Amino acid sequence: MSPLPTLSDRAAGLLLHPTSLPGGYGNGDLGVAAHRFATFLAAAGQRWWQMLPVHPVGDGYSPYHGLSAFAGAPHLIALEPLVRAGWLRPEEAAPPRRRLPPGGAAPGGHAHGPARYAESLRFREARLRLAFARFQARAPAAERRRLEAFRAQEAHWLADYALFAALKRAQRGAPWMRWPEPLRVRRTAALREARRALAGEIALAEFRQFLFERQWQALRAHCHALGVALLGDIPIFVAHDGADAWARNDLFFLDRDGRLPIQSGVPPDAFSANGQRWGNPLYDWRRHKAERYAWWVARLRLTLRRFDAVRLDHFIGFVRYWAVPGGQRTALHGHFRPGPGAHFLGHLQAEFGHLPLIAEDLGIVTPAVTALREQFRLPGMRVLQFAFGGDPANPHLPHNHDRTSVVYTGTHDNDTLVGWARGPGRGRLRPEARRALDYLGAGPEAELHWALIRLAYQSVGNLAMLPVQDVLGLGRAARMNLPGTARGNWTWRLNEGALGEAHAECLAALARLYGRAAPDAS
């Protein structure tokens, strides 16, 4: 067994969200394919598996607009373990192949999805309800005690989340801002009555979280046995129509009816000329400070129980954040407000000691952002697709990296390397790609994606992280997300067998060559 890496160790990893794993249920989950991918990572000399947030998703299925900052996604619960437990019969868990094919094959045999979330959620929901009914009828006493212990341990978030999930179903999916006023503003008598009337739905929601946590910890144990660490992602903001904003609306800038007087976003940047209007509620940081950031401490503590390190999304927002008036259609007329900065991170450090966090310092990076990151010794992100604009002082160029850097060929918000290199016209190489070839000293016929992967491994940055799409050399159809757009994102999936032995051997050879393999790797 290889020792688990830390962010201070020289290593490499792959970025793949579990929903992108293959399988017959509409989206990937925590089952067999996840365990096989962990085995592939170890064989490929990869010591980290990075994922996007793993929370329940709302409209648009974005993992960055989860319905809870604490709960796990029910659509990631695998059905095979429920068969082994005797709560489902094999035929009940059989994938409905005609309705939910695992993904169409693109040229070269690689999967381009799509994930079918709506169908997957319906199919899994019916089976989870059936499994819960059988659990209630026949589960042994030891299993019941484990569920009760889980409820008690997680009560600080689970009680509100389970009630929220039950109410949302009872209200036919309506946003909580449109619920009847006693429920919307959480009147005590109304909540007491809802808990009585919806006791069965609440218990089912708790059972789903119990299953998620059990399957997650089984996957994590398997990864750890292989010497593979898990890298998670904490979105800076929560969803407006989510359990957190409903249960603790005093921690956010919301009006009496739950509407947004101001909302999150970013000013115009490389992704959007009008900026981005994200629609999340903004934190009332004065209230968080008065409570000694208890909500954030609880959030990070749970996340670090699932992951070995965490990417802190939109790190610049902790220095200053873009506040957009609630009625605006674009983010052009927003303004900056100060974030909690060193006081917040200092409190987290006092609570946790070492902070295993990566600062997502992309966007408008001011000296104050860099100073805050360096004060707490947090690794920053360097993205090779941002490196070749022509400025030799560009911090994303490898000769400007430092050892704390986490080096990416691209992130979930970027095009794939092949899509980026060819640009929208898919013809000649774009100027930035030509500069990359010049930088590499490679000829125009070179496989640019492998050349840039090698460049990421050569960097002095401790961690080199590659989206799986770049390892496979896929084009823009395999892009995971296009920022500023609401539809068509988050659906890319792998086909079974798309990652093979040749990929593992090539990655392992690079990891050994550039000192990123585990210490005991031969």
Q: Could you tell me which of 463, 462, 383 has the C-alpha nearest to residue 417? A: 383
- Distance between first and last Cα of the chain: 13
Q: In the 8-state DSSP scheme, what is residue 495? A: P
> What does the block give as tokens for 356?
């295993």
Q: Which of 382, 277, 287, 389 is nearest to 344 (CA)?
A: 287
Asked whether the bond before 114 is cis by omega within 30 degrees of 0, the reply is: yes
Residue 172 structure tokens:
């036919």
Alpha-carbon distance of 443 to 448, in angstroms, equals 9
Helix axes 32-43, 199-225, angle to 10 degrees: 20
Q: How far is CA 434 from CA 85, 145, 271, 442, 486, in A?
A: 56, 62, 21, 10, 32
Taking Cα atoms as reference points, which of 169, 188, 186, 286 lies closest to residue 244?
186
**Number of CB atoms found within 10 A of residue 441's CB:** 8
Task: Tell which residue, 57, 380, 93, has the closest CA to residue 243.
Answer: 57
Contact 237, 229 (CB under 8 A): no
Cα–Cα dist 370/395, whole Å:
12
SS (H, E, C) 228-276: CEEEEEECCCCCCCCHHHHHCHHHECCCCCCCCCEEEEECCECCECCCE
Residues carrying an active site annotation: 313, 360, 413
Left (φ > 0), alpha (ψ -120 to 50) or beta: where does 426 sit? Answer: left
E-strand stretches of 86-238: 229-234
Rg, the chain, Cα only: 23
Sheet arrangement for strand 276-277: 276-277, 262-266, 320-325, 335-338
Backbone angles phi, psi at 435, to 5 degrees: -65, -35
Report the alpha-carbon distance of residue 353 to residue 338 in Å, rounded: 25
Phi, psi angle pair for 509, to nearest 5°: -65, -40
User: What does the block give as tokens for 135?
Assistant: 């659990």
Residues 6+ apart with CB under 8 A from 27: 19, 75, 76, 115, 116, 117, 120, 493
Residues, the chain: 522
